[in-house]
């Protein structure tokens, strides 16, 4: 598997449910389960794998210190993984060109790209802000599976 399109097809298999692995301060791998989607980077326009992470999550601390990640998902017996550098964009991790309003919309876009639906996006936006949620954007250096 050489391209992100094949990975993106698997996102729909189980609402983007994926295992992400980051490196902890001791060099050990730290896996967790999250929902991911594929969308355009808000600045460069390149296709990236993205997720929304709680502002107090340990994986954000780990990614700030060691911004590399691997994301694996499956659909039946098919699976795919993406590995690459990660960017954190959120209220505690500003990105030039992504202001408050663009971040609010980006968090929605990631949620939708991962298969999420919501009947009240005003409530969604409020909760994301209260929890200081951040977007994690992964540039796919390696796509395999």
CATH no. for residue 47?
2.30.110.10
**Range of 103's domain?**
4-144
Closest alpha carbon to 70 in 113, 34, 45, 106:
34
Model confidence pLDDT, tens digit, residues 48-72: 999 999 999 999 999 999 999 999 9
Q: How many folded domains does the chain comprise?
A: 1
Q: Which residues pair with 88 in a beta bridge?
A: 136
- For 125, half-sphere exposure in the C-beta direction (CA atoms, 13 angstrom radius) is 11
- Alpha-carbon distance values, 124 to 38, 64, 85, 128 (Å): 20, 25, 28, 6
pLDDT single digits (tens) 86-104: 999 999 999 999 999 999 9
pTM: 0.95
């Amino acid at each position: 598997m050489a391209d992100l399109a094949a990975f993106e097809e698997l996102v729909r298999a189980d609402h983007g449910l994926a295992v992400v692995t980051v490196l902890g301060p001791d060099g050990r791998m730290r896996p967790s389960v999250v929902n991911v989607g594929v969308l355009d980077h808000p600045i460069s326009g390149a296709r990236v794998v993205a997720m929304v992470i709680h502002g107090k999550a340990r994986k954000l601390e780990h990614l700030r210190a060691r911004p590399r990640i691997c994301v694996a998902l499956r659909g039946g017996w098919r699976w795919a993984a993406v590995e690459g550098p990660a960017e954190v964009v959120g209220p505690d991790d500003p990105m030039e060109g992504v202001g408050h309003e663009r971040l609010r919309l980006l968090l929605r876009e990631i949620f939708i790209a991962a298969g999420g639906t919501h009947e009240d996006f005003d409530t969604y936006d409020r909760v994301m802000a209260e929890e200081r949620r951040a977007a994690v954007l992964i540039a796919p250096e390696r796509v395999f599976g």
